[in-house]
Structure 1
Amino acid sequence: MGDAVDLTLFNALSLLLPPVSELYQDLESQLKNERRIISTIFDPKVYDVSTPADPPARVFPSFFVDHVESLNEEQQLMILHGGILLIWDDKRLSWNASEYGNVKEITRRKTQLDGKLWLPKVNVLVKTTCYFEYDDYPYDSQNCSFIMYSPFTIDK
């Protein structure tokens, strides 16, 4: 009885899945289109990493905390390590998806782009004061806030 159920389930799944050759062709087509996109948008005549975008690229930074190094209650001081994830929209790095097999996005490792794109690694060390209040101990919670900003703002 168990074998019949397994066989029936396998047959039902095989009806739902496309043949392996079809999946391989789809993947091969996807990769071919991605390679075409990369060679087109990173053409030195179109994109130069050292030349600013026009219009300027919009950058969306997100801060994340990696770990808290120390928390000094007596000095009311917190030190934490983190990083900044930078996401930007550079119009020079866009394409018409319909011309490339409807590929809308590509994902590559930094090493696969071979220096064609500026990909900074940003680490942050924050040292800030925190006012600790223990009125509700042991049910208290602490809130340490800080503001990050850049004195360098470029806008056209």
Structure 2
Amino acid sequence: MTVLQGPLADRDAWSAIGKCPIEKTMGLVGTKSAMLIMREAFYGTTRFDDFARRVGITKAATSARLSELVDAGLLEKQPYREPGQRVRDEYVLTEAGTEFMPVVWAMFEWGRKHLGDSALRLKHLECGAQAHVEIVCDNGHVVPPDELGVALR
């Protein structure tokens, strides 16, 4: 269990509604299709039709999700032109989008472990070892759930 510290410890004296980073993040990427588009962006997908096909959603839904992710600053549009074709946009990860990767990989790891073991694994390419998502403090210590606290800054 995560420990709430200081004034946060009195759960009846404060409300996280509208202030919680989880709530705000879910407001940006809280749909299945948005998360799957981010997954595809991490896998290198950049083209509109490829997102629609690989996520399995309509072109209208793809357009809406890509626009939301661009507005949220997770993806950005970059123009490209195939020879003899009109200029189109591709969608690439921004710095904020790249920083979102651990969220998606944490969901990957949780799903792999709890929803039926998948043959898929995260892997450190340099040494070949299996990779994991962990919470690490600024001093480099891995922080287990029972040692994690939330405090006001």
- TM-score w.r.t. structure 2 length? 0.20
- TM-score w.r.t. structure 1 length? 0.20
Looking at secondary structure, tell me which structure has more strand per residue. 1
Looking at secondary structure, tell me which structure has more helix per residue. 2
Which structure has the larger Rg?
1
More RCO (CA 8 Å, sep 6+): 2
